[in-house]
Amino acid sequence: MITFLKFELKQNLKSWIIWTLSIVIMNILMMSIYSTMREEMIEISAMFDNLGIFSQMMGLTRLNMGTVLGYYGVEIGVVIALGGTMYSSVTAINIMAKETSQQTSEFLFSHPISRFQIVTSKAITVLIYVTLMAFIFWVFAVITFIFFNEPIPYFLLTRYHTLQWIMGLQIAAVCLFLSTILKRENTGLGIGIVLILYILSLMFNLQNDWQFLGYLSPFIYADASYLLLDDPIKTLELGFGIAMLLITFIASYFITSKKDIY
């Protein structure tokens, strides 16, 4: 299994580097904008507060974009949340389906390795790369506060990026399950799932009586506008998300054990 794991890690390394570098470069560009407009950001933040529904939907009424922490949560938070989860979904939804679409299943299963070990190796590959990406984002956040000579809110940043990591794993687990069902790679479906879940979180911000959406979208328990303000973690939504992660992950083994992959 170790040999197969190394193969999967090598095969997925290039895409991980491209996704990670792209997101980090975008974050650097976003923070460079703040650096050049730092004094004006207070007025811009006040203007955003008066945008009504849009401000409420994007969480602009809670975070102050005139501060490094507030700007990081509003601008960088969206890039990290969408970029990180899109990588998780695209990688996971294709990692099993590609064996069928590329007609490599027969060759793969001719080796002395069980289906359980194959799913485990692919799941560990996704886990490693999602975790490394989340750690790099956390390091970038710390460096950002050092660059702007601001006190580093280690607890808030660690809490926020930890829940972003869990969200990435939850979406990856769901997409891994779908990958065991699909007969071909489907990058569009992976990205579509992320966008739908993100839109649900925006609807949640607008409709306080739509609490059930909190159990459908992981973007809600990983929302920067709450986590970076030291508000309580949405434990019920988080618990449901972790349960969904475990259920879909276990289901991936069951489907693969019963599936005719030839």
**What is the full per-residue pLDDT of the chain (262 aa) written as tens digits?**
788 788 889 999 999 999 999 999 999 998 888 877 766 666 666 566 565 565 556 666 667 777 888 889 888 999 999 999 999 999 999 988 776 666 555 555 556 677 778 889 899 999 999 999 999 999 999 999 999 888 999 999 999 999 999 999 999 999 999 998 887 888 899 999 999 999 888 888 777 666 777 788 999 999 888 888 878 898 999 999 999 999 999 999 888 777 655 5
- In sequence order, the 6+-apart residues with CB closer than 8 A to the CB of 88 are 126, 130, 168, 169, 171, 172, 175
pLDDT at residue 74, rounded to an integer? 85
Asked if 228 contacts 63 with a C-beta cutoff of 8 angstroms, the reply is yes
DSSP H or E stretch at residue 139: helix 115-147
Q: CB of 177 within 8 A of CB of 64? A: no
Q: How many whole angstroms separate alpha carbon 157 and alpha carbon 175?
A: 27
The encoded tokens of residue 153 equal 């809110």
DSSP 21-78: HHHHHHHHHHHHHHHHTTTTHHHHHHHHHTSTHHHHHHTTTTS-TTSHHHHIIIIIHH
Tokens of 260: 């005719």
Q: Which pTM was predicted?
A: 0.89
The b-or-e profile of 88-125 (16+ CB within 10 A means b, else e) is bbbbbbbbbbbbbeeeebeeeeeeeeebeebbbbbbeb
Buried b (16+ CB within 10 A) or exposed e, 152-170: ebeebbeebbebbbbbbbb
pLDDT at residue 182, as a whole number: 83
Q: What is the residue whose two structure tokens read 């808030």?
A: 156
Q: Is the separation of the CB atoms in 123 and 176 below 8 Å?
A: yes
The Cα-based distances of 35 to 67, 111, 188 in angstroms read: 11, 55, 35
Q: What was the pLDDT predicted at 93?
A: 94
The whole-number pLDDT of residue 260 equals 59
